[in-house]
Amino acid sequence: MRIDALQGDCIRMVVFCRLLVLALCLAVGSRALAQRIELQHEGRTYVDLASAGGRLGMQAYWLKGYDTLRLRSQWTTIDVGKGERILYLNSLPIHLGFPTLESSGRLYLAQADYRQVLLSVLTPQSLSNRPKLRRVIIDAGHGGKDEGAKNEAYGLYEKKLNLDVARRLKVMLERSGLEVVMTRNSDAFIPLERRPQIANRENGDLFISIHFNAADSTTAEGFETFALTPQYQASSKYPKPGRGDNIRYEGNDQDPWNTLLGYHVQRALVQGAGGTDRGLKRARFLVLKHLNCPGVLVELGFVSNPATAQKLRTAVFRQTLAESLYDGITRYGKRLQRLP
């Protein structure tokens, strides 16, 4: 009996010690994990992408060569390269505020980019200040004495193309039951600062500024969509933030919604009209800075590219561009409606 009792005590002691060791291991392990989840660099917080992806229900793994981390779920694939300032969300290039960082075999994304890009597009239900979608402000860029880009050999003037696509878009949006206000519906010169003023005065729920590009190189082509640069970040064409980037504009109140709108518009453009996907970029355009509603500026192709110019001469292609914009806006609208 005594020996049995002693054996029982010994077994209980061994079990207790093992549990103690396990608890200690777990405590040390979770502390180590917690240390790895965030990282500070140049005064900014970075989040571990694999852990962040895990919270969004995504699995993370390195692609061949260990240069690109992939996050994957049933519907979404995100590819992010080491030290890159572009993230590919379902293959759409989204220009980030800051390059990613690699440390001890893990990839880190600036917390600002995690919030303003990943959360905006993947979990808009987590965002506050939800917009509605009833009245769309269409801004046909340039006009009057301001002709914009041109390709005279093909008889293309940006101000005319912008207005043509804007009118086609207006017809489709109104047919779907949305209200539309145009910042111009004729060949009139409207100063840049007037355009967001019209959007705000008319209580617009969405602002879309329509433009076409031109470049010295005739091979440049494709679509790009711009959303307002968030505070403290450099616009996409600059490598690092400067002092002027610390200013916050009214348009920054809609940062996450600008991103969500830009993502859907750019995606619909590339899917609907084909061509090179130049991605969702950031710029502090005057027409976006002072908006009280979500807004984007789209560049619908290069008039300087002969193949694009040839297509732009056809009403069929201009209609396709307008339909793609319509698809992007309505997908964004449906995403808002689905929010709980």
Plot region of 132 (φ>0 → left; ψ -120 to 50 → alpha; else → beta): beta
Choose the stretch contacting Zn ion; rule: CB under 5 A; options: 76-84, 143-151, 178-186, 328-336: 143-151
Q: Which is nearer to Zn ion, 211 or 267 (CB)?
A: 211
Does 301 help bind Zn ion (rule: CB under 5 A)? Answer: no
CB of residue 146 vs Zn ion: minimum separation in angstroms? 9
C-alpha–C-alpha distance, residues 49 and 86, integer Å: 14
Q: Which is nearer to Zn ion, 131 or 141 (CB)?
A: 141
Which of 288, 284, 222 lies closest to 261 in space, CA to CA?
288
Contact 112, 252 (CB under 8 A): no
In the set 148, 196, 204, 279, which binds Zn ion (CB under 5 A)?
148
Q: Which is nearer to Zn ion, 46 or 302 (CB)?
A: 302
Phi, psi torsion values for 207, nearest 5 degrees: -125, 130
Does 93 help bind Zn ion (rule: CB under 5 A)? Answer: no
Plot region of 275 (φ>0 → left; ψ -120 to 50 → alpha; else → beta): left
* DSSP annotation of 313: T
CB of residue 283 vs Zn ion: minimum separation in angstroms? 12
Contact 287, 197 (CB under 8 A): no
Residues 207-226 that bind Zn ion (CB under 5 A): 211
Q: Which is nearer to Zn ion, 87 or 296 (CB)?
A: 296
In the set 53, 97, 141, 328, which binds Zn ion (CB under 5 A)?
141
* DSSP annotation of 118: I
CB of residue 316 vs Zn ion: minimum separation in angstroms? 23
CB of residue 67 vs Zn ion: minimum separation in angstroms? 36
Which of 246, 245, 225, 243 lies closest to 235 in space, CA to CA?
245
CB of residue 34 vs Zn ion: minimum separation in angstroms? 48
The footprint of Zn ion (CB under 5 A) covers 141, 148, 211
